[in-house]
């Protein structure tokens, strides 16, 4: 697996899920080496094989979350909220000094259309607390439907990017663009409560209209 400063290897924790596979597909198609991570290597290998069959001649491999995090320069967290803390605590040593993009939304079944934020304020803020003050944590991709990600068509939805520093947000925005999406710097990590909370609102709208693709657009700014 080749790596470069302009195209670092991206590991996706929980990459066997729909959102993780969609992001992996987009980045691999853009020329990034991608590692699918899972609690079991067998599931990761199967997901990677499925994505290679879909995406063509791309660099996608599968392994355990631990091995994926150690091998990558960028780590993307797409696990269900119930596994969020355990996953981050287990991977903490491997994540030091790396860009961590948290896509997790604190959904609490069965009432997933109700905004329910954790004591830290958001899942991304919780990740920052777990990983420590020096952590490079960004939050992004919460409001993008996986239905869009696994297709090559343009996505009519913007991405709000929050982060622990301006440098972190800039790096995450570069990966948003690489995925073929439009991103906006939404400010410090504390603001991630807005993007994460919007997910429950959009799930409710999806249910009302029997669709899977409700999203957001930022208007009134030049594109």
% the chain with pLDDT above 90? 87
Q: Please measure the distance between the N-terminal and C-terminal CA atoms of the chain and give it in whole angstroms.
A: 35
Enumerate residues 6+ apart whose C-beta is below 8 A from 143.
157, 158, 159, 160, 195, 198, 199, 202, 215, 216
Average pLDDT score, the chain: 94
**Does residue 196 surpass a pLDDT of 80?**
yes
What does the block give as tokens for 73? 């320069």
Q: So what's the pLDDT on residue 1? A: 56
Confidence of residue 151 (pLDDT cuts 50, 70, 90): confident
Higher confidence at residue 109 or residue 154? 109
- With cut-offs at 50, 70 and 90, classify the pLDDT of residue 170: very high
Structural domains present in the chain: 10-209 (3.40.50.720)
Instruction: Give the pLDDT of residue 80.
Output: 94
pLDDT at 6: 81
Integer Cα distance of 139 and 95 in angstroms: 15
- List of E strands, the chain: 10-13, 34-38, 60-64, 74-77, 99-102, 136-139, 158-163, 182-188
Evaluate if residue 4 carries a pLDDT over 80.
no
Of the chain, the percentage scoring pLDDT greater than 70 comes to 99
- pLDDT tens digits for range 115-129: 999 999 999 999 999
The mean pLDDT of 42-71, rounded to a whole number, is 95
Summarize the confidence of residues 168-178 as an average pLDDT: 98
Query: What's the pLDDT at 2?
Result: 57
């Amino acid at each position: 697996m080749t790596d470069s400063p302009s195209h670092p290897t991206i590991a996706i924790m929980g990459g066997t899920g729909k959102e993780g596979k969609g992001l992996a597909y987009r980045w691999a198609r853009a020329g990034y080496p991608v590692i699918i991570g899972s609690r079991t290597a067998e599931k990761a290998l199967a997901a990677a094989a499925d994505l290679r069959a879909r995406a063509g001649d791309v660099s996608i491999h599968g392994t355990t979350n631990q091995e994926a995090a150690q091998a990558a320069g960028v780590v993307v967290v797409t696990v269900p909220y119930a596994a969020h803390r355990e996953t981050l605590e287990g991977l903490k040593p491997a994540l030091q000094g790396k860009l961590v993009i948290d896509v997790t939304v604190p959904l609490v079944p069965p009432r997933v259309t109700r905004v329910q934020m954790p004591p830290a304020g958001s899942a991304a803020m919780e990740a920052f607390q777990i990983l420590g003050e020096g952590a490079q944590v960004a939050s992004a991709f919460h409001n993008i439907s996986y239905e869009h990600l696994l297709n090559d068509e343009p996505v009519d939805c913007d991405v709000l990017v929050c982060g622990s520093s301006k440098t972190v947000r800039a790096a995450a925005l570069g990966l948003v663009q690489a995925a073929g999406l439009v991103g906006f710097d939404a400010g410090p990590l504390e603001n991630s409560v807005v993007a994460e909370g919007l997910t429950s609102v959009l799930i409710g709208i999806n249910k009302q209209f029997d669709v899977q693709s409700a999203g957001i657009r930022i208007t009134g700014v030049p594109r």
